[in-house]
Structure 1
Amino acid sequence: MKTGLIGAMREEVLLLKNDIENLKTEQFGSREFYSGTINNQELVMCLSGWGKVAAASTATTLINHYQVDQLVFIGLAGSVQPHLNIGDIVVANQLIQHDVDLSRLDGFPTVESPFWKTFAFDVFPHSGEKAIQAVDKFVLNLRKGSYPKIHSNYNPAVYVGAIGTGDQFIASKEGKVRINERFPQVLCTEMEGAAIAQIAADYQLPCTVVRVISDKADEDAHDSFAKFLFEDISHISVELAKLILS
């Protein structure tokens, strides 16, 4: 199986390039794609950039040019639920575009790709289970002290649930409330996951999204996000990706 791995930012996934065997680099548009193998599994990795359009463009190239069999996204997210703390890990079982509102089209019949109406996409059970197993193993390895480059006091809780996506960096209580009112099931918010899930649904491919909580999506979000970004996320993402690929 060939995996297309996406991260929005350099700090989220690019360190993994050091572990890719038979590395090949190609340029398409403004993006570089890194292909090769890890743990004898074929991989193509790319930085998408921020937002739904950037993520969708990247996913489409991975599918049409590289013929990947699954899409995986690893990165940061802001918590919109009080019980999620910075550093916790969320594995998506559903991805929702929280900034899309087609409620005035309720009279229209149910439609399918490419005319999605709900913009909520369920994760394939098999890929979701595999991601949960990888994250659980990561946490177990953490407790064994297997990752010396990750802070020894890092002990995340793991949650499985809905992740919300919108072209907004949520950094206010009001923004969190808006999401909670429409989608109370959403655990955290980011800017790419559900767009990748929509592309995966168009092509009927599995899609896995794993997010590490970097902030509380409140007025302190910018500072919390920046602090977490430049501490452990690169090493966390690399180890999670290796386990998902193993």
Structure 2
Amino acid sequence: MKTGIIGAMHEEILLLKKDIQRLKTEQFGSREFHSGTIDGKEVVMALSGWGKVAAASTATTLINHYQVDQLVFIGLAGSIQAQLHIGDIVVANQLIQHDVDLSRLEHFPEVKSPFWKDFSFKVLPQSEDKALQAVETFLANLKKGDYPAISKEYAPQVHLGAIGTGDQFIASKDGKMRINERFPQILCTEMEGAAIAQVGADYQIPCTVIRVISDKADEQAHDAFAEFLFENISNISVEIAKLIL
């Protein structure tokens, strides 16, 4: 099985490059794709950049050129629900584009969508199970002290649920409220996951999204996001990605 691994930012995933054996780097458009093996497993890693278009473009190249068998995205997200705290890990069982609203078209039943009408995508059970197992193994290794680069104070809770995607960095209570009112099932929000899930659904390629909570998506989100980004995420995402493989 060949796995395509995507991160939106250098800090989220690029550290994994050092673990790739037989490394080959190619450029398509503005993006570099790093392929090879990790512990005998075929992998292609790419940095997408922020937003749904960037993520979808990256996923499409991984599928069409590299013919990956699964897509994996690991990165940061803002908490929508009060029970999620900074550092907690969310494994997606559903990915929803919260900024798509086609409700007005419901008044015109003669207007048919040529592809997707509901921009909500379920994660396949086997992908969900694999992601949960990887995260649980990561936590067990963390407790044993296997990751000296990760703070000993880090003790996250794991949540399984819906992740929301939109082309917005949510940084206000009003923004959180608007998402929660439309989609009360969403646990956290980010800018790429459901776009990758849509591309995966187009090509019938399984998609896994794991997010680490970096902020509360409120007025303090910018500062909390920056602090978590530079302190922890690289080592956390790399170790989880290796366990998924």
- TM-score by shorter chain over 0.5: yes
Task: Give 1:108 shift.
Answer: 3.4
SS in 1 for 2:149: coil
Match of 2:119 in 1: 119
**Structure 2 gap segments, 5+ residues each:** none
**Structure 1 gap segments, 5+ residues each:** none
Task: Give 1:39 shift.
Answer: 1.7
Match of 1:177 in 2: 177
2:243 maps to amino acid: L
Task: Give 1:116 shift.
Answer: 0.6
Match of 2:61 in 1: 61
SS in 2 for 1:214: strand
Distance 2:163 2:46 in 1: 21
Distance 1:231 1:60 in 2: 31
SS in 1 for 2:231: coil
8 Å CA contact 1:79, 1:217 repeated in 2: yes
Distance 2:135 2:111 in 1: 35
Task: Give 1:105 shift.
Answer: 2.0
Distance 1:9 1:56 in 2: 15
SS in 2 for 1:115: coil
8 Å CA contact 2:70, 2:206 repeated in 1: yes
Alignment of 1:1-246 (within 5 A): 1-106=1-106, 107-108=108-109, 115-245=115-245
SS in 2 for 1:116: coil
Task: Give 1:169 shift.
Answer: 0.1
1:34 maps to amino acid: H
SS in 2 for 1:45: strand
Give the direction of change, closer, same or farther, for the CA distance of 1:109–1:40 in structure 2 (3 Å limit).
farther
Distance 1:11 1:222 in 2: 16
Give the direction of change, closer, same or farther, for the CA distance of 1:141–1:204 in structure 2 (3 Å limit).
same
Aligned residue-pair number: 244
Give the direction of change, closer, same or farther, for the CA distance of 1:18–1:103 in structure 2 (3 Å limit).
same
Query: For the aligned residues, what is the CA RMSD?
Result: 1.2
Distance 1:168 1:205 in 2: 26
SS in 2 for 1:230: helix
Over the matched positions of the two proteins, sequence identity in percent amounts to: 76
1:108 maps to amino acid: P
Task: Give 1:109 shift.
Answer: 7.7
Task: Give 1:125 shift.
Answer: 0.6
Q: Deviations over 1:116-164 (max 9, x none)?
A: 1110000011011000000011011111111000000100000000000
8 Å CA contact 2:105, 2:111 repeated in 1: no
- TM-score normalized by structure 2? 0.98
Give the direction of change, closer, same or farther, for the CA distance of 1:100–1:33 in structure 2 (3 Å limit).
same
